[in-house]
Amino acid sequence: MIKRILVPTDGSGAASLGVSYAIGIARQYKARLQGLHVVDVRLLEGPFLRDISSSLGVEPYGNYLTGIGDILRERGKAVLGAFQEQCAGAEVESDTTLDSGLVAHCIVERSELSDLVVMGRSGEHTGFLSGLLGSTTQAVIRRARCPVLVTGRAEPALRRFLVAYDGSVHAKKALQMAAALAAAWAVPFDVLVVGESGVEDRFGEARSYLDAHGAEAEYISRGGDPSESIVAVAGEHAADLLVMGAYGHTKVRELVVGSTTDYAIHHAPCPVLLTR
């Protein structure tokens, strides 16, 4: 049961989509939203301050650090104030937290007592941060214990969704989430198995679990590259949500060639709900 939803926001357009989507989910589940803004300590050092100081013709030391930190905190308060106003307008209960530290670390820490994290597909500083330490979204997905939903849409108009199933531990969590979603939203869904072998075994596992929970689904098999196939089927079946396990490959493969999870986040035509 989803009753507490963590919503990180930096005030960007993408983050605003995440807030709107989270509000829609909160209405469905009568859940409470926890708005979180993190003052990123990386913005007080390195390339960011060097760029500012260069444009001003000064050194990034002394009172500049304190002044910039104060500005970032005030901006964070304004972002969270707008979040609460939006929640109040939608008659959704909410709390807010202003943190300071490494963004992904703070989000993961705050998510430990949350049932779901909802994030926009990208954030205000994605271009700068992704080249330095990897995207915040990917870092949160890799480390959060609760499901993480990544969206580029503002409204959770859930009419049909797709579940990718490969028999892995994370995929089994995705199947459990699918049964819960189907019950809560009363919508149909499809189960996709990608591969040339073991398809019927995977279908049998999924069907056995879903039948026990009274969840009806259509079963689809597809060959080819798992990443491309999952995204393609989501588009072909007009899925409003893609549910899948996060990072099902080994850590070595993730580092060397990426993963199905990363591909889905960047290319899926719908929001992606990732489970661990």
**One domain for residues 167 and 271:** yes
Query: Nearest CA to 121 among 96, 91, 141?
Result: 141
Note whether residue 41 is domain-resident. yes
pLDDT of residue 125: 44
**One domain for residues 114 and 230:** no
Q: Give 40 or 126, the one with higher predicted confidence.
A: 40
* Residue 143 belongs to domain spanning: 4-151
With a pLDDT cut of 70, the percent of the chain lying above it is 83
Residue where a domain stops, chosen among 120, 151, 182 = 151
For residue range 128-167, what is the model confidence (pLDDT) as tens digits?
Answer: 333 333 488 889 998 999 999 999 999 999 999 999 999 9
Give the CB-side neighbour count of residue 18, counting CA atoms within 13 A. Answer: 30
Q: Give 42 or 109, the one with higher predicted confidence.
A: 109
**One domain for residues 122 and 230:** no
Residue where a domain stops, chosen among 132, 151, 170 = 151
**One domain for residues 147 and 165:** no
For residue range 94-120, what is the model confidence (pLDDT) as tens digits?
Answer: 999 999 999 999 999 999 999 999 999
- Tally of domains in the chain: 2
- pLDDT of 124 over the 70 cut: no
Which parts of 36-168 fold into alpha helices (H)?
Answer: 46-56, 63-89, 103-111, 126-133, 136-143
**One domain for residues 67 and 184:** no
Note whether residue 156 is domain-resident. no
pLDDT of residue 51: 53
CB atoms within 10 A of CB 8: 29
Q: Give CA separation, 14 vs 9, 96, 122, 125, in Å.
A: 9, 19, 6, 11
Token pair 């709390």 in the structure block, residue = 95
The chain-wide mean pLDDT, for the chain, equals 87
Cα 40 → chain centroid: 19
For residue range 213-245, what is the model confidence (pLDDT) as tens digits?
Answer: 999 999 999 999 999 999 999 999 999 999 999
Residue where a domain stops, chosen among 151, 174, 195 = 151
Give the CB-side neighbour count of residue 207, counting CA atoms within 13 A. Answer: 10
Which CATH number is 111's domain given? Answer: 3.40.50.12370
- pLDDT of 183 over the 70 cut: yes
- Confidence band of 195 (pLDDT split at 50, 70, 90): confident
**One domain for residues 67 and 118:** yes
Q: Is the backbone of residue 46 left (phi > 0), alpha (psi -120 to 50) or beta? A: left
**One domain for residues 10 and 147:** yes
Q: Full-prediction pTM beyond 0.85?
A: yes
pLDDT of residue 218: 97
**One domain for residues 145 and 30:** yes
**One domain for residues 109 and 168:** no
